[in-house]
C-alpha cells in the first residue's frame, strides 16, 4: 500500500455518505490507479444512494464521471503513462464473451461491472479502474468541466443518436445531460425544445441560453409537433406526454437508468409508427466518438463545484432541483 486515500462511502441505501480514510489500493493486472481530479455527481448516483437501483455492492464509493491522473500502473497494462489524464465512465468492465459483447453490444453485457455501483467509483481521492475502460482526455483545461462528459455527455450522445435524423427534438428534464445534448444538437443544425419542471423559470432561461428554440413546462405542449423526444427526467408520466408531442413515425427515447412507473395511455398515442425505446449504459465506441466530438463542436459544460466532503450536499441539491448544469466534486 502506498499512503492513505479519502472516500465518501455509502454503507446503506437511503443514508448519508460517510467520509472515510483507507489505505490507497494497489492496481491489479490490467488496472490503473488514478488520483482523482474531479468527479461529476450524476442522477444515477442519486438512484444508487436513494435505493432506487437495487443490489449495489455495499459498502460502495459512488461516482462514475471521473477525471484523474494515472498514479500507478498494474501488470500487463500498455498505452498509459504515469501522470496522464484519463476519464472513467459508468461502464467499468464487460465479460467480452457473452452474445452481446461478441455482437458489438457490450452495453448490454450479461456480466458487467459498473463504476460507483458494483465497483468503487470516484467520490474519493483515488480510484482503481480497468485500464480497458479508461479514455485519454485533454491534458489542459479544467478537470471539473470535463467530468460531466463521462456520463451526462455519453448517455446524452447515445440518446441523441437514437433519434436518427430528427431535426426538431424535445428534451424533457433540462439537467446535466440535456445541457450538453442541446449544444451538440445545435452544432448539428437541429432544434431543441426544452421541457422543464413547471414553474422553474431559472431552468427555462438556462435552456434558452444554450440555444433551445423554445422552453416551457413539462405539462405544456410544444408550439409544433416534434420529430423526436428524449426523456432524461425519471418521471414515467412524461412518456405519454412525449408520445403526444411527436409526429407520426417519431421516436421517444428514455435516457435514464431508472424511471417511475409509466401510467397507462391510449394506444392512439403509440399508433402511426411512433416508437418508444430506452438507452442502456454505453459502449466504448460511444465514448471514443463523443470525447472526440465534444471539443470539436465546442461543448461548454456548466458546473457547480463542491469539496469531496460535501458530496451529500451536492446530492441534495441535485435531488431538490437546485442546480443548473452539473454538480462536480473536486477532492
In the prediction, which pLDDT does 31 show?
98
Distance CA 33, CA 38 (A): 14
Among 318, 26, 21, residue whose Cα is nearest residue 173:
318
Among 34, 36, 10, residue whose Cα is nearest residue 308:
36
Domains annotated for the chain, with CATH where assigned, are 4-150+301-330 (3.90.180.10), 154-278 (3.40.50.720)
Among 15, 16, 34, residue whose Cα is nearest residue 24:
34
Quick check: 2 pLDDT over 90? no
Quick check: 29 pLDDT over 50? yes
Quick check: 325 pLDDT over 50? yes
> Would you state the cell numbers that stand for residue 208, as one nine-digit string?
434558452
Q: Taking all residues of the chain, what is their mean pLDDT, rounded to a whole number?
A: 96
pTM of the predicted structure, to 2 decimals: 0.94
> Would you state the cell numbers that stand for residue 217, as one nine-digit string?
413546462
Percent of the chain with pLDDT strictly greater than 70: 99
Quick check: 1 pLDDT over 80? no
Distance CA 302, CA 324 (A): 7
Around Cβ 210, how many Cβ atoms within 10 Å? Answer: 22
Report, as an integer, the average pLDDT of 252-275: 97
Kindly report, residue by residue over 99-154, the tens digit of the pLDDT.
999 999 999 999 999 999 999 999 999 999 999 999 999 998 899 999 999 999 99
CA dihedral 134, 139, 142, 144 (to 10 degrees): 10
Quick check: 68 pLDDT over 80? yes
DSSP state of 143: H
Strand (E) or helix (H) holding 311: helix 311-319
Amino acid at each position: 500500500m502506498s499512503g492513505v486515500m479519502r472516500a465518501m462511502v455509502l454503507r446503506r441505501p437511503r443514508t448519508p455518505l460517510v467520509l472515510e480514510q483507507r489505505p490507497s489500493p494497489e492496481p491489479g493486472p490490467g488496472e490503473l490507479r488514478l488520483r482523482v481530479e474531479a468527479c461529476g455527481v450524476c442522477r444515477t448516483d442519486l438512484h444508487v444512494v436513494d435505493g432506487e437501483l437495487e443490489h449495489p455492492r455495499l459498502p460502495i464509493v459512488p461516482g462514475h464521471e471521473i477525471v484523474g491522473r494515472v498514479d500507478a500502473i498494474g501488470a500487463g497494462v500498455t498505452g498509459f503513462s504515469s501522470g496522464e489524464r484519463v476519464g472513467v465512465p459508468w461502464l467499468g468492465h464487460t465479460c467480452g464473451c457473452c452474445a452481446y459483447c461478441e455482437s458489438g453490444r457490450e452495453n448490454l453485457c450479461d456480466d458487467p461491472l459498473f463504476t460507483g455501483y458494483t465497483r468503487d467509483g470516484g467520490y474519493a481521492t483515488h480510484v482503481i479502474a480497468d485500464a480497458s475502460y479508461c479514455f485519454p482526455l485533454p491534458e489542459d483545461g479544467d478537470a471539473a468541466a470535463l467530468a460531466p462528459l463521462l456520463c451526462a455527455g455519453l448517455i446524452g450522445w447515445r440518446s441523441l443518436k437514437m433519434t436518427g435524423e430528427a431535426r426538431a427534438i424535445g428534451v424533457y428534464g433540462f439537467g446535466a445531460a440535456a445541457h450538453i445534448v442541446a449544444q451538440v444538437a445545435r452544432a448539428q443544425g437541429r432544434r431543441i425544445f426544452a421541457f422543464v419542471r413547471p414553474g422553474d423559470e431559472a431552468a427555462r432561461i438556462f435552456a434558452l441560453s444554450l440555444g433551445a428554440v423554445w422552453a416551457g413546462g413539462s405539462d405544456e405542449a410544444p408550439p409544433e409537433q416534434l420529430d423526436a423526444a428524449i426523456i432524461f427526467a425519471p418521471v414515467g408520466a412524461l412518456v405519454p406526454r412525449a408520445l403526444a408531442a411527436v409526429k407520426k413515425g417519431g421516436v421517444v427515447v428514455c435516457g435514464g437508468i431508472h424511471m417511475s412507473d409509466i401510467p397507462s395511455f391510449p394506444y392512439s398515442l403509440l399508433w402511426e409508427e411512433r416508437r418508444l425505446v430506452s438507452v442502456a449504459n454505453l459502449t466504448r465506441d460511444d465514448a471514443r466518438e463523443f470525447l472526440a466530438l465534444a471539443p470539436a463542436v465546442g461543448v461548454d459544460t456548466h458546473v457547480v463545484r463542491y469539496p469531496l466532503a460535501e458530496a451529500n450536499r451536492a446530492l441534495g441539491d441535485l435531488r431538490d432541483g437546485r442546480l443548473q448544469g452539473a454538480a462536480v466534486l473536486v477532492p
